[in-house]
Structure 1
Amino acid sequence: MSREEQKRERRNNIIAVAKKQFLLHGMQNVQLQDIAKDAGVGIATLYRYFPNKDQLIIAVNNDIMQEMTNTIHQIVSESLTAFEQLDRLLTYYIDLADEPAHQFVKFFKTFEIYKDEVLNDSENYQMFLHIRRNFADVLLQLVENGQQDGSFRKDIDLEVFVFTAVQNVSYFVSEAVLVEHDPTLTVDLNPKKQLQLLKDMFLQYVRP
């Protein structure tokens, strides 16, 4: 293994350990010393890869975003109609509500709060922007698929619709699963049921 490969492997290992720690304990409660210890490196070595905690937080966020973008790209590349692809894509987000302890939801919720503080012109930030652009490109591919196969209605702005549907479902996931509803209410506000209803409304709206 070359030196560059070793450095890349060590960096990826630090990110993997940080990701596990952040999801398990919350990014506010994890210290760099804890990550260095679990990654089997000295704190000075960790600082060579990530000069501060903010940069490591961005790197972990990038890793999660890239994984999600890859999954969505795979869905949009399947031999399905665009309508079926959208159904699966929204279901993918809704299933995050079933994730034990809502770790990913809590991470993204916290990251949004601190995003303006941790983002800057670093290499990790440039990667953050690159992944966001790739994610947008996948959604635009879904729009193109719908325009070509006719499984989406043609009298609406499909670009605005697709982005709105995905953003609203993902936002509701992050909000609904972390909110404890008033126990005195007689209506069942189960987040999963609400998300399924939201998905059904979007699908019904876009069906030709």
Structure 2
Amino acid sequence: MSIREQRKQQRREQIIQAAKALMLKSGIQQVQLQDVANEVGIGIATFYRYFANKELLVLAINNEITREMTNTIKHIAKEPITAYKQIDRILTYYIELIDDPEHQFVKFFKAFEAYKPISEETYEYKEFLDIRKEMANVLYSIAVKGMEDKSIRAGIDIPEYVFTVVQNISYFSVESYLTEHDPDLPVKLDPKKQLKLIREMFLQFIATKN
């Protein structure tokens, strides 16, 4: 990579980091591209050399956050523990993401649903697919390990169950924190306790029976 290309990559990363900080703090809808350009210290015309529109910038931020999560899961997958314990660690990690008092990440992911890629031929969209595939491969490798080390009971479709519970806890962590529960309910629901219940039920289901 030439010096010019390195500088261009550094500038692109600077834009993503600045936009990420602004959008996590204020929300996707509230941040304008001019706000990001001002934060980086560049003109709006220069900004458009890196991102043609807001949708691609939001997608790039989503990719950055998802890659961070994927790297954490990859680290867990390399730990010298059973697949069962690795799954427990991953589910706990997802649950702990909602501990942020301002719920920045869950608000971002919820708002991101409104930003559909305008073109599947863009670099950002291809990166989006690559990261999702990378995370899926890590989860699948853990499922295979569970079959090999027998820390997960036989007789179930382990990969299917692993993907199902991780996806559902991820989805529920976004939806539950942003949904006001019916005040007429006889109990006040605690989203984190609900997530822990889901995790415990799943872990009990896949545990090797002694």
Q: In 1, distance between residues paired with 2:19 and 2:179?
A: 26
* 1:95 matched residue in structure 2: 96
Contact in 2 for aligned 1:23/1:107 (Cα 8 Å): yes
Residue 113 of structure 2 is aligned to residue 112 of structure 1: yes
**TM-score, scaled to structure 2:** 0.94
Q: In 1, distance between residues paired with 2:110 and 2:103?
A: 10
- Give 1:1-40 correspondences, 5 Å limit: 2-40=3-41
* 2:147 matched residue in structure 1: 147
* 1:55 matched residue in structure 2: 56
Q: Counterpart of 1:158 in structure 2: which amino acid? A: I
Residue 168 of structure 2 is aligned to residue 168 of structure 1: yes
Contact in 1 for aligned 2:169/2:195 (Cα 8 Å): yes
Would you say how many aligned residue pairs link Structure 1 and Structure 2?
207
More displaced, 118-127 or 139-148? 118-127
Q: Counterpart of 2:13 in structure 1: which amino acid? A: N
**TM-score, scaled to structure 1:** 0.95
Q: In 1, distance between residues paired with 2:67 and 2:16?
A: 13
Q: In 2, distance between residues paired with 1:100 and 1:122?
A: 35
Q: In 2, distance between residues paired with 1:100 and 1:11?
A: 29
Q: In 2, distance between residues paired with 1:12 and 1:73?
A: 22
The C-alpha deviation readout for 1:9-65, integer Å capped at 9, x for no partner, is 111000000111111111111110000000111111110000111111111111111
Q: Counterpart of 2:150 in structure 1: which amino acid? A: G
Instruction: Name segments (4+ residues, structure 1) moved above 4 Å.
Output: none
* 1:43 matched residue in structure 2: 44
Q: Counterpart of 2:160 in structure 1: which amino acid? A: V
The C-alpha deviation readout for 1:152-179, integer Å capped at 9, x for no partner, is 0110001110000101111110111111
Q: In 1, distance between residues paired with 2:84 and 2:148?
A: 12
Q: Counterpart of 1:30 in structure 2: which amino acid? A: V
* 1:184 matched residue in structure 2: 184
Identity of aligned residues (%): 53
Q: Point out where structure 2 has 5 or more consecutive residues left out of the alignment.
A: none
| SS class of match (2:152) | coil
Q: In 2, distance between residues paired with 1:53 and 1:66?
A: 20
The C-alpha deviation readout for 1:101-152, integer Å capped at 9, x for no partner, is 111111111112332x545321110110111100100111111111111100
Q: In 1, distance between residues paired with 2:114 and 2:10?
A: 30
Q: Identify the structure with the greater helix proportion.
A: 1
Contact in 1 for aligned 2:63/2:127 (Cα 8 Å): yes
| SS class of match (2:48) | helix
The C-alpha deviation readout for 1:79-103, integer Å capped at 9, x for no partner, is 1111110001000110122112111
Contact in 2 for aligned 1:58/1:119 (Cα 8 Å): no
RMSD value, Cα: 1.3
More displaced, 176-185 or 44-53? 176-185
Q: Point out where structure 1 has 5 or more consecutive residues left out of the alignment.
A: none
| SS class of match (2:72) | helix
More displaced, 55-64 or 174-183? 174-183
